[in-house]
Structure 1
Amino acid sequence: MAQSFAERLRLGIAVIHGEAQDAESDLVDGRHSPPTVKIPLLIPKEKPPITVVGDVGGRIAIIVDDIIDDVDSFVAAAQTLKKHGAYKIFVMATHGILSSDAPKLIEESAIDKVVVTNTIPHEHQKLQCIKIQTVDISLILSEAIRRIYNGESMSYLFRHIGLED
């Protein structure tokens, strides 16, 4: 998907990876049921180091995700991108939950701007961090709902949205 976006925008692509999710957080949020049989405790895996594949030197880096809540991985990725020569770092996400101390961590990080939609209210977070910017998508959502209700084409929305929208 990232390659597809890069081709459409006629931009280069770099991939950052290595920030594996630890098993402890999986247990807390219920993604893995506790085993019914007792097993010996295992030593948790160490997280692999963050690796950048591609050249980001002297370029603007854009990190895209669906949700930004806990920002630790974004801050770590931004720090790594900065070390590899990226001169500006933007984070874009559809849903900006930004809970806990996320605004403070963003403000103190190498991230230049976090752009999120208004699907979740985050005015309080914006007061704590000037790097957070909101894109209003209410008109697009309402038009999508109207089109679905009337059985109209959704593809029109994707082909006819201008910069002012």
Structure 2
Amino acid sequence: MKLITGNANPNLAADIAKYLDIPLTDTEFRRFADNEIFVRINENVRGEDVFVIQSTSYPANDHLMELLIAMDALKRASAKRITAVIPYFGYARQDRKTDGRTPISAKLVANLVATSGADRVLTMDLHAGQIQGFFDVPTDNLIATPVMERDIRENYGADKVMIVSPDVGGVVRARALAKRLDCDLAIVDKRRPKAGVAEVMNIIGDVQDRACILYDDMCDSGGTLCNAAAALMEQGAKSVSAYVTHGVLSGSAVERIEKSVLKEIVIADTIAPDSNAAKSKAVRVLSVAHVIGEAIRRIANDESISKMFD
């Protein structure tokens, strides 16, 4: 087995390599003067089972091109099997036509990944589970729910919390966590007047005097979670925290969260936290390296991945 990482999240890749007790393969990622990306694999990979670890997070296009070019280099170097390990799959929100003459970019990126040489894809908490069907190669979608469940039990106590979905679309995800914790579920019903603006309309469920935990797959600008938290507090919630797999946290998201009524936001390390998130007392990071590492080990040994979550 060979592990390769681009520049998106080298710390996560190093933790995965530590879990698997194998070194990262020596590679070279650099830019030409005009910012074209160049990749060189400095070790023999002929006949090897290779895993390329790269989230397509900000800057999304640069990290996506690093992934595609690295896999092309591996394919031309006669690697036996190439698995694209994409902890955070960017463009996932563009999974359908939302208006006339608009793209389905998630499908386009899935095609690019397969065309560039990926034989398998391993990702985590896709924005929509059906995106797995966009890939023309076998795709495994891991979940961070067990990691979140363990942390909630340790820090909040399962008998004291109420899981809240920040929108109707995330109910299935939130219900799965609530079922694991054997606790109640509430839903924030919101209407979005335009892209990037979330308006909370109603809370479905009794949150009076409850420690509420918002659970979602990603936090971008933070507007949805902050508005939902404010609405929950107005309905009598005792406290509101948020657990999110992908901490995109673009723009002034960290500052917005710090000024909100949120007690804290807990994110997984699928995206490398920037300096603002890293030093913020309102943001806490959980590692999912052991989950991804175990999935990689099972793929390499042709073992079941679904049994990881039984």
Distance in 1 (CA, whole Å) between partners of 2:186 and 2:278 is 32
Q: What is the match of residue 192 of structure 2?
A: 20
1:48 deviates by 6.0
Percentage of pairs with the same residue = 30
Residue 4 to residue 127, structure 1, CA distance change in 2 (3 Å): closer
The offset of 1:139, in angstroms, is 1.7
Please report the TM-score for the alignment, with normalisation by the length of structure 1: 0.75
Of 83, 101, 110, which residue of structure 1 is paired with 2:234? 83
- Cα distance, 1:11–1:51 mapped onto 2, change above 3 Å: same
- Picking from 120, 140, 147, the partner of 2:291 is 140
Q: Please, what TM-score do these two structures have when normalized by structure 2?
A: 0.41
Runs (4+) off by over 6 Å? none
Return the structure number with greater relative CO, CA threshold 8 A, min gap 6.
1
**CA 1:141/1:55 → structure 2, altered by over 3 Å: closer, same or farther?**
same
Greater Cα offset, 4-13 or 86-95: 4-13
Q: CA RMSD in A?
A: 2.1
Query: Within 5 A, what are the aligned runs for 1:4-153?
Result: 4-20=176-192, 22=194, 25=195, 49-153=200-304
Contact map agreement 1:104 1:128 (CA 8 A) in 2? no
CA contact (8 A) 2:189 2:202 kept: yes
Residue 71 of structure 1 and its aligned partner are, at CA, apart by 0.7
Question: How much has 1:140 moved relative to structure 2?
Answer: 1.4
Alpha-carbon distance in 1 for matches of 2:291, 2:222? 27
Deviation sequence 1:125-156 (CA, Å, 0-9, x none)? 32452110000111210110110121111133
- Which amino acid in structure 2 is aligned with residue 81 of structure 1? L
For 1:158 and 1:149, how far apart are their aligned partners in 2?
18
8 Å CA contact 2:199, 2:227 repeated in 1: no
What SS class does the counterpart of residue 19 from structure 1 fall into? strand
CA distance in 2, matches of 1:9, 1:146: 28
Could you tell me whether the CA contact under 8 Å between 1:19 and 1:73 is conserved in 2? no
Structure 1 residue 118: Cα displacement: 0.4
Q: Which amino acid aligns with 2:224?
A: S
Instruction: Flag the structure with higher strand content.
Output: 2
Amino acid across the alignment from 1:131: A
Give the C-alpha shift of residue 12 in structure 1: 1.3
Describe the shift of the 1:56–1:130 C-alpha distance in structure 2 as closer, same or farther (beyond 3 A). Answer: same
CA deviation after TM superposition for structure 1 residue 49, in Å? 4.5
| Structure 1: runs of 5+ lacking an equivalent | 27-45, 160-165
